[in-house]
Structure 1
Amino acid sequence: MTEHAENGSRLLRVRVSIVGSEPEIWRVLEVDSSLTLDRIHDVLQTALGWRDAHLHSFTDTDPYVRLRAVNGHVREPRRWVSEDLLEDNEGDLPETAWALGKVLTSESGPLFYEYDFGDSWLHRLELIDSIPMPADVPRARLLDGARRAPLEDSGGIGGYYDMLDALADPAHEDHDELKEWVAWTVGPWQAFDPEHLDIDALSNELARLFEAPAQGPGPETESLIQELIHRMPPGLRREFRSYLDSVGLDAPGSVEDDVAGAMTAPYLWLAGRIGQNGLSLTPAGWLPPAVVQEAMTEIGWAKNWIGKANREEQTLPVLQLRESAQRLGLIRKIKGRLLLTSAGKRLVDDPVGLWMFIARSLAHRHRHDSGRDAVLLLLLEIAAGKRAAWDDYLDAVAFGLSALGWRSPEGADLDTRTLHALLAEPLEVLQNLGIFNDHGGLEPDSTTPHGKAFARAALHS
């Protein structure tokens, strides 16, 4: 369902340009004249690709051009602002009470929209045409345009073009620093190309602005992907959703019996070795040396391990396998013995069922904390299959966590050490499953096809 235009409204064709941009950054939009200026703000943010992270206002004159007197009188400009700015100036008008068709007419001249009062991104809105509102036409539609919006916080139009010059010149003294800043600012969900404009993606986002609220089941029935999307701030939500659309994560992953058996082999071996009767640990609480050696040999880990591989506390692959199986809920330790849980007993001979159980456990084991969000963001990157090194995964997860509002106790972005801690345990599981092309388990890099399917299954579980 979508919102419909009011009776008697008109369809306005409007050209929007960023003042001072050269080459010009512009859009041509068709919008319903009955839309109030607060909704036009949403339309402009979406059509330009801004992140809606700063204050804004509308004026009927260029705020940076001094008005001339006419017959000894200087006309007082009008300014429309959001509710939270109304108290700052008694002469300001509420943008929620004024429709675009009332302030942008054939007689009015252009309307100006300023975004971010620090960088002062000034937009000029010019009326091209006005016709009666046809039936079944979107309330806002992007027809044409050129170039992406400047980067937020890049210093206004002059600072933005100075930055582009420095990026284009490897010998510039600020080149490397600005390149790093741009990479972090743009983030992992889009490439930075000042000349690029994806009209289809922006049009899809404009259409979403006017979708009626969903009826029926509440947020608890949302998919994991939908939940992450809805928790993003609006500006970044658009970029995140466009990224997800570009990699196509709609279909859940599936697996054949033989592939599931190969991927879950370490867990199947451990569950089978424990068996229905359980397995006694040493007095110190470790797996018996013979079992450790057997695990390393039969799972195939011995060839990449230096040492005797017969003491669990010194043989990390086996220790981490046991600990991860306990965290996943497949086994438990009681009075010096390892026992299968009810799930472990049920799945010991069911590779596909075990594959799905592990996928669900990774995605749902913890609820609404930074660790859970970090795992979901990592699974999204695995499913997308676009990263080629572990540092790339970490950068993408860090950006996503920042977008979701996670910070250190001091208010800073989460550092690399914290990210490693959040992902250490799920990474052990993923490496046991062979999710990555990881050079013998040393460090994850690109995702295997079966790894992508597993991540999709987890995200749709």
Structure 2
Amino acid sequence: MELDSTDRTRMHGGMTDQIARIRITLEDMKPAIWRRVELPVTNSLKTLHLAIQACMLFENYHLFQFDIGDAAYGIRFDDDDAFMVRTRDAANMRISKLAERGITSFTYTYDFGDNWRHRIEIEEISSTIPGTNYPRFVDGERRAPPEDVGGTPGFEEFLEAMSKPRHPERKSMIEWYGRPFDPADISPDEISARMAKLAKRRAQGKAAYADAKSRDS
């Protein structure tokens, strides 16, 4: 997928008031589990990670990694260089930089044990809507797997047990998960609430930066 000339013009015409519409699709799932979100292009991959956590209702318990071409972005640790780890800091790569380079499709992996791989697609660059707080949730389908369910095989077993009232493992699964599981219910209100918290943190960060800048001037 490539950005058209209009999108590229927008990117170079003023990044501070531009947003990226991004589709997030969990790989190897049928029916598809996906979300669509909008983030300012000035946001980093770290913020995109937090937005994915929010809209998939993950709990940010585990490590993550974006794979973009030959580069990997995630969390850097002090001893990474000693162990020849090549992971770059996700906080240092902005969405705008990817779009400017024509990169609109890449992968995001969360929890290297369960190995949840997502296809990330930058669908469109557009102007912000006045009065709208970003990042924001747009739409999506199908509920994402619970944390630590055991990867794709474990999730399939979980779904089977939850869908059959007489399944021998259903009671234990409900006790483990804490409630029944409806694969069609993505809990949009909960997602929007989580995204609103993320947007509030962004607004507070911008306000603090502006205040510090005014004091220095």
**TM-score, normalized by the shorter chain, greater than 0.5:** yes
Match of 1:8 among 12, 15, 31: 15
Q: CA deviation at 1:97?
A: 0.8
- Is residue 38–residue 136 contact of structure 2 (8 Å, CA) maintained in 1? yes
- Is residue 86–residue 94 contact of structure 1 (8 Å, CA) maintained in 2? no
1:103 — aligned with what?
Answer: 98
Identify the structure with bigger relative contact order (alpha carbons < 8 Å, sequence gap 6+): 2
Larger Rg: 1
- Is residue 37–residue 138 contact of structure 2 (8 Å, CA) maintained in 1? yes
- Is residue 105–residue 127 contact of structure 1 (8 Å, CA) maintained in 2? no
The answer to whether structure 1 residue 162 and structure 2 residue 157 are counterparts is yes
Change (3 A) 1:52 1:181: farther
The whole-number CA distance in structure 1 between the counterparts of 2:78 and 2:195 is 26
Q: CA deviation at 1:169?
A: 4.1
1:139 aligned counterpart, secondary structure: coil
2:190 — aligned with what?
Answer: 201
2:214 — aligned with what?
Answer: none
2:23 aligned counterpart, secondary structure: strand
- Is residue 104–residue 123 contact of structure 2 (8 Å, CA) maintained in 1? no
Counterparts of 1:246-257 in structure 2, within 5 Å, are none
Match of 2:138 among 119, 126, 143: 143
Q: CA deviation at 1:30?
A: 1.0
1:342 — aligned with what?
Answer: none
Name the one with the larger helix percent: 1
The whole-number CA distance in structure 2 between the counterparts of 1:170 and 1:180 is 9
- Is residue 24–residue 121 contact of structure 2 (8 Å, CA) maintained in 1? yes
Q: CA deviation at 1:122?
A: 0.6
- Is residue 106–residue 127 contact of structure 1 (8 Å, CA) maintained in 2? no
Superposed CA RMSD in Å reads 2.5
1:205 aligned counterpart, secondary structure: helix
Q: CA deviation at 1:107?
A: 2.4
- Is residue 149–residue 158 contact of structure 2 (8 Å, CA) maintained in 1? yes
Name the one with the larger strand percent: 2
The whole-number CA distance in structure 1 between the counterparts of 2:101 and 2:21 is 11
- Is residue 113–residue 123 contact of structure 1 (8 Å, CA) maintained in 2? yes
Counterparts of 1:29-178 in structure 2, within 5 Å, are 29-61=37-69, 77-84=70-77, 87=80, 88-104=83-99, 107-169=102-164, 175-177=167-169
1:13 aligned counterpart, secondary structure: strand
The answer to whether structure 1 residue 184 and structure 2 residue 175 are counterparts is yes
Give the number of equivalent residue pairs: 187
2:38 aligned counterpart, secondary structure: strand
* Structure 1, unaligned runs of 5 or more: 1-6, 62-76, 214-461
The whole-number CA distance in structure 2 between the counterparts of 1:209 and 1:182 is 31
Q: CA deviation at 1:106?
A: 7.8
Change (3 A) 1:170 1:45: same
